[in-house]
Amino acid sequence: VQLVESGGGLVQAGGSLRLSCAASGLTFGTYAMGWFRQIPGKEREFVASITWSGRSTHYADSVKGRFTISRDNAKNTVYLQMNSLNAEDTAVYYCAADRTTPSDTPSRIALYDYWGQGTQVTVSS
């Protein structure tokens, strides 16, 4: 199983980025997917998740109204559209796949089975 994130980079405060996570080696449409982020020296934190069908989503309070998670099962890809970025959004962003609860939108790290290597997002103020 491989999850490969892309789309990170340097952006000014108030700007936008779209992250992508391409999955291979798994039946993508049977997994819930999530995005997490981590700052050096801090614990990895939940950002957003989406059910296998894409019908339900869940967001951390800190990103609600600014970030949008979506998926394209035909392309085996999950996305994270990030708008109105601020310096507190600077982190390494990881996507993850959950096979156990595909109809849920889990926020717990322990529920995810596979992880990508991460992509750096840096927001300059």
At residue 81, the pLDDT reads 98
pLDDT at 102: 87
pLDDT at 19: 98
Residue-by-residue pLDDT tens, the chain, 125 positions: 999 999 999 999 999 999 999 999 999 999 999 999 999 999 999 999 999 999 999 999 999 999 999 999 999 999 999 999 999 999 999 999 999 988 898 999 999 999 999 999 999 98
For every residue of the chain, DSSP letters joined together read: -EEEEE--EEEETT--EEEEEEEESS-GGGSEEEEEEE-TTS--EEEEEE-TTSS-EEE-TTTTTTEEEEEETTTTEEEEEE-S--GGG-EEEEEEEESS-TTS----GGG--EE---EEEEEE-
